[in-house]
Amino acid sequence: MSGLLDNLYMILVIMAVHTTSSLFHNYFKGRFAEYALFDLRERTAKHIGKLSMPCIDKHHSGELISSLTNDIMVVQNFLQNNLGNILVEPMLFIISLFYLCSISWNLTLFSVSIAPILMFLVIKMSKPIERLTGEQQEFLSEVNTTAQDSISGLDVVKSFNLENTMEEKFSYRVDRAVSRGLEIALTQAILNPIGTIMGMSPFILTFLYGGYLVINGAFSFGNLISFIQVLNYVVNPLTSFPRLLSTLRSAVSALSRIFEIWELELEREDGNVFPRREDVPVISFKDVSFSYNTSGEVVSGLNLEVKNGETIGIVGPSGSGKSTIVKLILGFYNPTKGDIYLYGERLMDWKLDSARSLISLVSQDTYLFPESIYNNIAFGKKNATRDEVINASRLAGIHEFIESLPQGYDTFVGERGVRLSGGERQRIAIARAFLKDTPILILDEPTSSLDADSEKRIQESLEKLMAGRTTIVIAHRLSTVMMSDRIIVMNQGKIIDVGTHSELLERDSLYRQLYMNQINESKQEDVRR
């Protein structure tokens, strides 16, 4: 009788552990995992948002996005479904093993004698699945990258008619991922029954030897029943642990990829805010050289002073380093040699966001966020009022157009919203700049993606924007820079000439050559019309 009570007692203990473990498990599944994942996702996204430009150049954006989605999903799956088991199963295993030994150590020894073989076979069997799953993960992340590429490079894809090429690339990768998925299913279909039979073998052995002991009166039937009941907790971990360990391994490697992102170089956040002195050049370059990588200087030995209120034009063939100068002024990159000064202080000593808050940029292609037109303009200034936003749109000459849309300023821009023409997008960028209202304005080929008519109409708004500001204007069409106080002519990263429009035309210069070419081009265009 006391034996029976002992058994009952032990089984109760084990059931208690089991119940606690599933409570634990559900707790992980619910609160802990959710919080941890929220943190993980937020921190990773934040970090990606603050990466330095050189770092973004080095890492594929698709690769970063894939970490943000795939890797976090792997960790999520582990935290929610496996971590509880990994913590609890060994505990149950040990308690149960002790209990079995206490009932009958020789039956225990006999029952688990094939455990090492079992473990070995399970590990062997999980190898192909693990390999296939690893490959599938890799292929899936390639699918992500390709999708990312085709979306962010949509213009290029379209303009070069690469849709079919991209689609082939994409479907090839999807096919590969799917075929691995099918292989996994097939392998599992074959291995699972084998696994089940293997998992049953300790029970069969126990029944045989235990039954023999019962028949001989060496063991009670009740004992045998509780023995087999508890044997479950010893055998199950043996078969499930290798799989759990492999989920642990992939979660660890996913986490380490996420942590690698956390290690990536961020933009600096230190620096000072300096006053806007009027007695020094607004921007000056002192012997500035720069290269993106080891493949040679893109800007070399640049010296330039931009005085307060001055308008500087920069012209030069494409690839001559004009946009790079803009990126240097905005502190996206640091010069490899020399220094840039803003209001007489080294840009390196400025707090980057303070420096940037003094500069408005209107560039060739304006990125609009998938949000309302209102928000897209309001990004120009923190806490802008509705009146300020509308006023900026009026100055940019886009207010009437926005009002004419059915939903006015609330019209959604982007994939599922309105499609705006190049001119309308640029006007939104100009409205943003009006709203930001900075002392420095940089125009990097703001009209180069527009046709001649839209260009002429936008020119007027741009001139209004330039009034009273120190401006650097980069232009492909020389008509845009003709009025500048000084024009800088760049070639292969160097300033090769400086002067006003008329001074430069008098010389037999690259400028005159560019100018003549454009006059001929526009004549030809007029003839074609």
Ligand X SMILES: Nc1ncnc2c1ncn2[C@@H]1O[C@H](COP(=O)(O)OP(=O)(O)O)[C@@H](O)[C@H]1O
Contact set with Mg ion (CB under 5 A): 323
* 66 closest CA partner among 142, 160, 155: 142
Name the minimum Å distance from CB 63 to Mg ion. Answer: 26
Q: Output 220 or 323, the one with its CB closest to Mg ion.
A: 323
Task: Name the binder of 433 from ligand X, Mg ion, none, CB < 5-8 A by kind.
Answer: none
CB-based contact 372:410 (threshold 8 Å): yes
Q: Which stretch binds ligand X (CB under 6 A): 133-141, 270-278, 317-325, 346-354?
A: 317-325
Sheet containing 345-346: order of strands:
299-306, 283-290, 337-342, 345-346
Name the minimum Å distance from CB 336 to ligand X. Answer: 13
> Contact between 90 and ligand X (CB under 6 A)?
no
> Contact between 312 and ligand X (CB under 6 A)?
no
Name the minimum Å distance from CB 364 to ligand X. Answer: 9
Point out which residues pair with 235 in neighbouring strands.
Answer: none
Name the minimum Å distance from CB 445 to Mg ion. Answer: 6
3-state SS class at 303: strand
461 to 150, 294, 433, 447: CA distances (angstroms): 34, 41, 11, 12
Query: How far, in Å, CA of 334 to CA of 328, rounded?
Result: 6
CB-based contact 139:170 (threshold 8 Å): no
Q: Are strands 337-342 and 345-346 parallel, antiparallel or unpaired?
A: antiparallel
> Contact between 298 and ligand X (CB under 6 A)?
yes
Name the minimum Å distance from CB 474 to ligand X. Answer: 7
Task: Name the binder of 319 from Mg ion, ligand X, none, CB < 5-8 A by kind.
Answer: ligand X
Q: Are strands 283-290 and 337-342 parallel, antiparallel or unpaired?
A: antiparallel
Name the minimum Å distance from CB 522 to ligand X. Answer: 21
> Contact between 476 and ligand X (CB under 6 A)?
no
3-state SS class at 401: helix
Q: Output 84 or 316, the one with its CB closest to ligand X.
A: 316
> Contact between 477 and ligand X (CB under 6 A)?
no
> Contact between 152 and ligand X (CB under 6 A)?
no
Name the minimum Å distance from CB 323 to ligand X. Answer: 3
Return the residue of 111, 320, 360, 484 that touches ligand X, per CB under 6 A: 320
Radius of gyration (C-alpha) of the chain in whole angstroms = 35
Task: Name the binder of 274 from ligand X, Mg ion, none, CB < 5-8 A by kind.
Answer: none
Contact letters for ligand X, residues 253-292 (x by CB under 6 A): ---------------------------------------x
> Contact between 300 and ligand X (CB under 6 A)?
no
Contact letters for ligand X, residues 180-199 (x by CB under 6 A): --------------------
Name the minimum Å distance from CB 324 to ligand X. Answer: 3
Q: Which stretch binds ligand X (CB under 6 A): 18-26, 35-43, 225-233, 322-330?
A: 322-330
Return the residue of 21, 253, 323, 448 that touches ligand X, per CB under 6 A: 323
Phi, psi torsion values for 498, nearest 5 degrees: -140, 140
Return the residue of 195, 202, 321, 446 that touches ligand X, per CB under 6 A: 321
Kindly state the tokens that stand for 154: 């949509």
Helices 221-263 and 33-49 sit at what angle, rounded to 10 degrees? 20
Q: Output 62 or 316, the one with its CB closest to ligand X.
A: 316
Tokens 């220094």 belong to 339
Return the residue of 2, 161, 294, 318 that touches ligand X, per CB under 6 A: 318
Query: How far, in Å, CA of 183 to CA of 116, rounded?
Result: 28
Query: How far, in Å, CA of 187 to CA of 190, rounded?
Result: 5
Name the minimum Å distance from CB 495 to ligand X. Answer: 12
> Contact between 319 and ligand X (CB under 6 A)?
yes
> Contact between 44 and ligand X (CB under 6 A)?
no
Kindly state the tokens that stand for 366: 């304006």
Q: Are strands 359-362 and 440-444 parallel, antiparallel or unpaired?
A: parallel
Burial group, residue 52, by CB count within 10 angstroms (0-12, 13-18, 19+): middle
73-97 in b/e form (b: 16+ CB < 10 A) is ebbbebbbebbbbbebbeebbebbb
- Distance of alpha carbon 43 from the chain centroid: 12
Kindly list the residues in this chain that would bind ligand X in the complex (CB under 6 A): 57, 292, 298, 316, 318-324
